[in-house]
Structure formats: C-alpha cells, structure tokens
Amino acid sequence: MKRARVAYAGAIHGAVEVDDQLKLDDGRIVDESEVIWLPPVTPRTVFALGLNYADHAKELSFNAPTEPLVFLKGPNTFVGHMAQTLRPADATYMHYECELAVVIGREARNVKREYAYDYVSGYTVANDYAIRDYLENYYRPNLRVKNRDTCTPIGPWFVDKKDIADPMNLTLRTYVNGKLTQQGSTKDMIFDIPYLIEYLSGFMTLNDGDIILTGTPKGSVDTVVGDVVVTEVEGIGRLVNTIVGDETFNVSKPLQPAEKLI
C-alpha cells in the first residue's frame, strides 16, 4: 500500500492512494492536486550516504570508499512532494541526487545482515540536493552543503516493504524539465541495505521512523532557478520539486523578528 501525509482543509491527514486519488484517514476522497504533500515519514534521525555508487564516486573523482561514508540530516532540510527548493544566488553548482530512502520500522541494535529487512518498514524517494560551492574539507560533506533548509525533498509515498520484491534491483531516474539526466540501479550500490543496517546498528540504536538515504548513482548535473526536477524510483514514487531563487524567500531583505514574545 502507498501512504502519504498531506495537509488538506485545515488539518494534517494520513492518506492512501485509491484509483489515482487520495483517500484520507477520515474517509474523504480528494484529488492529488488539492493537497499539500508533507514528508511521508516525520524525520527524526536521518542518515545519508555519500559516494555509495561506484560510478558516482568516480564521477566526483573519488575512489570508492571502503567504509560507508555516512552523514546526518536535521529536520529543517526536509520538504514534501511538489515543494520549492531554494538555490542561493551565489551558488554556481547545485545538483540533485535521486535516492532510495529506507525507513526503519522498529528498534534495531547489533542486527546481522541476514535479519536486516526484519527492521525495515518501507521505502520512499528522496532528492538529496547538494550545493558544491559550500563544500569544505571538514566533516565533508558538511551541513552547509547537505542540510540546508528545503534541500531534501522526500516522498510522495511511503511504500510498505512487502510491496517491493527486491529493493536492491530498482531503477532510479531523474528528469530535469522532462529530460532524462540520471539513470541507475540500486543493484549498483557499494554498501547494500542489509550492510548499512548491520553497520549502523553495530554502533548505535536505530529507531522506528529513522530513515537511511542510500546514495545516488552517476548523472548529477547543475540545476537552476525554474527547473522542475523529478526524481523517480521504480515502484516507489515520482518526487517532483521546483527550484526557486533568493527572491522567492526574500533573502536580500534581513528578516526582522516579530514582536517579542512575552
């Protein structure tokens, strides 16, 4: 089953897909265009993988890592399907990253790879944008590159684990303004899903709702204001995002705090 979290008519709802429409938890049936899509899982601890596809590592002139390159993301960076992502005016190279996102379903500690899928509840799609201008060689990729507000669209759907026969054999595709710019397969991951769960749970506790963004294959290109970027994972979803500029967020004008709270 495909499930979403949406805002509709003044409240936040869970919803399922029924005949290309959304059926809200309260029974209402609405068109997809009538809702605001939220991240399908409320982000708490979110891991992301760097250089987890050999072809992408090569594209960035790195040798494939011998240990997973993991970084963390904060809740500020996530936006849902059909959202806007800000490209700062000074950025010269901002690229998307189409990724399979794995959602953890229960507490996991010291899990062996053969049992790893017992701890997965499902999957979604993420677009892990990076602004390479802000890369620094400390804790690289640093949060200024990877944890910016609005820079991690996720969704539209949470898809139950049982609906995906083999998550390690799914095609990933990215389209910019309708043109195919990235294509790969999850079978080319360097560290596969069971490995990542064994690795992470080997030194820390994973919890229900934690998410692992499993990395992106080669084919990252610069994107600019106005681009519509669609990241798609076979059988899981098609995540649409639009890039906007500083003017949309009034970046040039310093924000003034509202009246002081008492």
Partner 1 sequence: MSKAKIRFFGSLHEEEVNVDVVNATIELKGKSYDLGQLSLTSPVSGTIYGTLLNYKGALKALENEVNEPPYNQPPNAPILYIKPVNTINGYNVPIPLPSDVAELEVGAALGIVIGRTATRVSEEQALDYVAGYTVVNDVTVPHSSFFRPAISQKARDGFCPVGPWVIERDAIENPDALELRVYINGELRQENTTANLIRPVKKLIAEVTEFMTLTAGDTLLVGVPEGAPLVKSGDHVCIKIEGVGALENRVVHEHELVAGGAK
CB 184 within 8 A of CB 171: yes
Give the nearer residue to partner 1 in terms of CB position, either 129 or 175. Answer: 129
Interface characters, 20-59, with partner 1 (x: CB under 8 A): ------------------------xx-x------------
User: Stretches 24-32, 133-141, 186-194, 219-227: which one binds partner 1 (CB under 8 A)?
Assistant: 133-141
- Identify residue 83 by its one-letter amino acid code: A
How many CB atoms are located within 10 Å of the residue 169 CB?
A: 12
Instruction: Pick out residues in 67-86 that bind partner 1 (CB under 8 A).
Output: 69-77
- Which residue in the set 34, 149, 163, 247 belongs to the binding site for partner 1 (CB under 8 A)? 149
CB 27 within 8 A of CB 118: no
Give the nearer residue to partner 1 in terms of CB position, either 181 or 214. Answer: 214
Length reported for the chain: 262
- Between CA 167 and CA 170 the distance in angstroms is 6
CB 59 within 8 A of CB 50: no
Binding footprint of partner 1, residue count (CB under 8 A): 38
142 lies in the binding site for partner 1 (CB under 8 A)? yes
Instruction: Pick out residues in 95-114 that bind partner 1 (CB under 8 A).
Output: 109
Give the nearer residue to partner 1 in terms of CB position, either 3 or 146. Answer: 146
Coil, strand or helix: which one is 90?
Answer: coil
CB 4 within 8 A of CB 11: no
Give the nearer residue to partner 1 in terms of CB position, either 60 or 180. Answer: 60
Coil, strand or helix: which one is 181?
Answer: strand
Interface characters, 236-255, with partner 1 (x: CB under 8 A): ---------------x--xx
- Which pair of structure tokens corresponds to residue 106? 């229960």
**Across the strands, what pairs with 130?**
95
**Across the strands, what pairs with 65?**
none
Strand order across the 228-233 sheet: 83-86, 237-244, 228-233, 171-176, 179-185
Instruction: Pick out residues in 180-199 that bind partner 1 (CB under 8 A).
Output: none
User: Stretches 116-124, 155-163, 173-181, 204-212: which one binds partner 1 (CB under 8 A)?
Assistant: 204-212
- Which residue in the set 78, 96, 134, 191 belongs to the binding site for partner 1 (CB under 8 A)? 134
Q: Smallest distance, Å, CB 149 to partner 1?
A: 5
Residue carrying the six token digits 């490209």: 87
Q: Which positions touch partner 1 (CB under 8 A)?
A: 44-45, 47, 69-77, 109, 134, 136-144, 147-149, 203-207, 251, 254-257, 260-261
